[in-house]
Structure 1
């Protein structure tokens, strides 16, 4: 038996040294990959941080171009009214003060705002973020878009032509590219009554309380563009600022002032002298019964006549239970001369209003619909056959007045007529009776005046009345006549408003003393 050498089972090519080298190579590659990943992440973070820092610096560039107006900010551009903007302003920078009527964001870098001055004078404003962050930044756009509606702002902007005219606003051929905007007076987030509501026709004419108590308690009206419900008279009067800010109320006030001017024009051209009457006296001249003189400047008008004036008139407020806040008074010698003068002055007012306020009247009729106010070409006596049941010695009720007006319009094509010789039984004690017959209607003879006062079951020595009678005893007073015309009633009648309250600047009723 021979001996053989012992051999290893491990092959010559499977030594452990090559295996260790491969593992190290893979580990190095993985580490390198992780390091590259970390480097890229750090680089990305650095870029983001740099971009954020750059954005912050950009926002800061526009900080002085917007914010609250503390009356220390100066905008040097020329101030231009919206209604005066024209082609001469294209490309120029102007200054505007207006209310924000509407606003909407267009993404994060652009906003549209409607800026309104008085009435319906409104224009579209565009504010867009600049690439370099000045003059407008993204934060500025966001701030302007978040301003509450009806906030009052000071704006600097460049006048440009719009790509497409805005149909919902008056100044539609131009738009403002805003570069500066400062809030002068911020409005509350929720208005007691929004502009869209206040510019609608009044729904409930009760000036004391709204039909819905919750509406008054919350004082909130929805502000929308379409299908906006109207508010009650109480809501309007409890929100006087927004009531007066409504375009329809502003043009009613314009018509009112025009009527006032026309009245003065006509009388001054005919040698009438205007005077100012006192609003305060030491005794009531009119109350809940016919025991008092009508509470108006009439007594002062008569004192002016007694003092030597021939033709006088005054314009001023009166205080009475019914809302006839601004009467007009004038004097003439003969009854028919007075009537003719009154007819002429009213026709002058109505024709002048048609000529001077055509645009305002048209706007009012979009809210309070009515037909054109018809005026006669020549005066004539009117007693329609359908109205024959009204006797000569009885007063005319409001429904009868309306019925008569409808009949006159239908038959004579006019809304203006004069009732001659009003019944004596429906007149106050100071009106002179017609001697032929002695049923119709100023008394300037004291004894006749006292007799008529007693006939009305009034004591001539009572407070307020005695002073009136003594005026005619103190000196000889010439014969005279006149009338009082309620300005608010004339305006309400001409515009066909549902209530005289809408024509009054600051309504006063027995229960309303504010604002």
Structure 2
């Protein structure tokens, strides 16, 4: 049995000039002319042109039989070809093996709209270099987040995604049948992170699935996404949490710039920049004062920032501080969960924050209230019954350390980092109110 030469990736072909190689990939384009046959083959690293002069032989017939997106293995010799735009070289074939012939016509092309492309996502990803780069960046980014967390003494946890009671208020959760009773998909690992630090696991983090039953149809929302969550115990104040996050993000972005910076510029026209530390901080009161002075007037006198307010604040921070990030702190207690700690003497505020990146909220965090009786009082203040939260509240009855943490969506971070128009392009398979397939 004759074995083909070892596979060589398209990006590595310049190192194999005048040598026989085997390339494997998909047929990207065909130009079958009267005297010559040209095939552009694509793998996950790039493209190469295969050039064959017609001679009436079996190789000619094989090349004529190819269809776009067929999976093939082609063995031949790499030769210099300055006239070829794809790297100034070409492959002169000696054998062609059709591994899987693609049907025609293809269900999508370059003019296909986003919904149809989502139906055929595997083809969409395969055909677009940008999509493949997203996942390469995601891998580096996620690895760097873990690297930083573990370097800071964090333990990675894997918390349940099936819950016996709905988390927090019970809103925006998916209910499902669990044997003879109902269960709920976790919309956050929040309570389990707090349980872990109460269990003596000093610092914890998790990168895992999160589910939100939000009927949102925006470019930044999904019903299932990968969340980054961190919880730190024995803290003195919420500033420690913000300092941890800004250093973590700066480390991860730095790794992405180091590994993918040039390619990101080539594909997306975006130059990722490692942010300066520390990030600017504005209280919510300060942020709203700045925005109202510039004419921002949300409906109903909202205590929170709407998308327009976030964008305007980003412009202000960019002009004033020259920075793409800003922590907005001290949110009103009325719009924050009952378990957020409140400043001494200011029960109307919370020691909480959102992190905005280029005008988009990417993180919510806070110092948690760790004292059992205060938690009970704050829950009652919001009209919440203690009984459904009994197991959660039990965590604080037997000595819980001061702690705080944050949660962020990985896809939303990637969306901003790469300048993507929609969060759909930052994930392999999107889940939204009207999409459960493929």
The TM-score with structure 2 as length reference comes to 0.81
Tell me if the contact between 1:393 and 1:425 (Cα under 8 Å) persists in the aligned partners: no
Q: Output the CA distance in 1 between the equivalents of 2:310 and 2:271.
A: 18
Superposition deviation, residue 482 in structure 1 = 0.4
SS of alignment partner, residue 78 of structure 1: coil
Q: 2:146 aligns with which of 250, 264, 284?
A: 264
Q: 2:12 aligns with which of 57, 72, 84?
A: 84
Q: What is the 5 A alignment of 1:486-505?
A: 486-505=409-428
Tell me whether 1:451 sits opposite 2:377 in the alignment. Answer: yes
The residue number in structure 1 matching 2:41 is 115
Superposition deviation, residue 346 in structure 1 = 1.8
The residue number in structure 1 matching 2:194 is 302
The residue number in structure 1 matching 2:120 is 239
Instruction: Map Cα deviations across residues 285-326 of structure 1 (whole Å, 9 max, x no partner).
Output: 254369x99721122211211111111111111111342611
The residue number in structure 1 matching 2:246 is 343
SS of alignment partner, residue 136 of structure 2: helix
Tell me if the contact between 2:279 and 2:325 (Cα under 8 Å) persists in the aligned partners: no
SS of alignment partner, residue 348 of structure 1: helix
Greater radius of gyration (CA): 1
Tell me whether 1:431 sits opposite 2:368 in the alignment. Answer: no
Superposition deviation, residue 138 in structure 1 = 3.6
Higher RCO, 1 or 2 (CA under 8 Å, sep at least 6)?
2
SS of alignment partner, residue 189 of structure 1: coil
Superposition deviation, residue 150 in structure 1 = 0.8
The residue number in structure 1 matching 2:361 is none
The residue number in structure 1 matching 2:255 is 352
Q: What is the 5 A alignment of 1:23-422?
A: 75-87=3-15, 89-107=16-34, 109-119=35-45, 121-130=46-55, 137-162=56-81, 164-167=82-85, 169=86, 172-194=87-109, 197=110, 229=111, 231-245=112-126, 246-285=128-167, 287-288=170-171, 295-321=187-213, 322-323=221-222, 325-332=225-232, 333=235, 334-366=237-269, 375-376=275-276, 378-382=278-282, 383=286, 386-388=290-292, 394-422=303-331
- CA separation of 1:417/1:294 partners in 2, compared to 1, >3 Å: closer, same or farther? farther
SS of alignment partner, residue 79 of structure 1: coil
Q: Output the CA distance in 1 between the equivalents of 2:272 and 2:149.
A: 26
Q: Output the CA distance in 1 between the equivalents of 2:271 and 2:321.
A: 16
Bigger helix share: 1
Q: Output the CA distance in 2 between the equivalents of 1:492 and 1:250.
A: 14
SS of alignment partner, residue 327 of structure 1: strand
Q: Output the CA distance in 2 between the equivalents of 1:340 and 1:294.
A: 27
Superposition deviation, residue 410 in structure 1 = 2.6
Superposition deviation, residue 348 in structure 1 = 2.0
The residue number in structure 2 matching 1:485 is 408
Q: Output the CA distance in 2 between the equivalents of 1:115 and 1:393.
A: 55
The TM-score with structure 1 as length reference comes to 0.70
SS of alignment partner, residue 88 of structure 2: strand
Q: Output the CA distance in 1 between the equivalents of 2:403 and 2:247.
A: 18
Aligned residues: 389
SS of alignment partner, residue 318 of structure 1: strand
SS of alignment partner, residue 187 of structure 1: coil
Q: Output the CA distance in 2 between the equivalents of 1:505 and 1:468.
A: 34
- CA separation of 1:283/1:364 partners in 2, compared to 1, >3 Å: closer, same or farther? farther
Q: Output the CA distance in 2 between the equivalents of 1:372 and 1:294.
A: 33
Q: Output the CA distance in 1 between the equivalents of 2:23 and 2:144.
A: 33
Instruction: Map Cα deviations across residues 441-469 of structure 1 (whole Å, 9 max, x no partner).
Output: 3122222222222222222223xx33322
SS of alignment partner, residue 83 of structure 2: coil
Tell me if the contact between 2:27 and 2:39 (Cα under 8 Å) persists in the aligned partners: yes
- CA separation of 1:380/1:105 partners in 2, compared to 1, >3 Å: closer, same or farther? closer
Superposition deviation, residue 166 in structure 1 = 1.9
Q: Output the CA distance in 2 between the equivalents of 1:314 and 1:243.
A: 30
The residue number in structure 2 matching 1:507 is 430
Superposition deviation, residue 259 in structure 1 = 1.5
- CA separation of 1:83/1:364 partners in 2, compared to 1, >3 Å: closer, same or farther? closer
Taking only aligned residues, the RMSD between alpha carbons, in angstroms, comes to 2.7
Tell me if the contact between 2:79 and 2:92 (Cα under 8 Å) persists in the aligned partners: yes
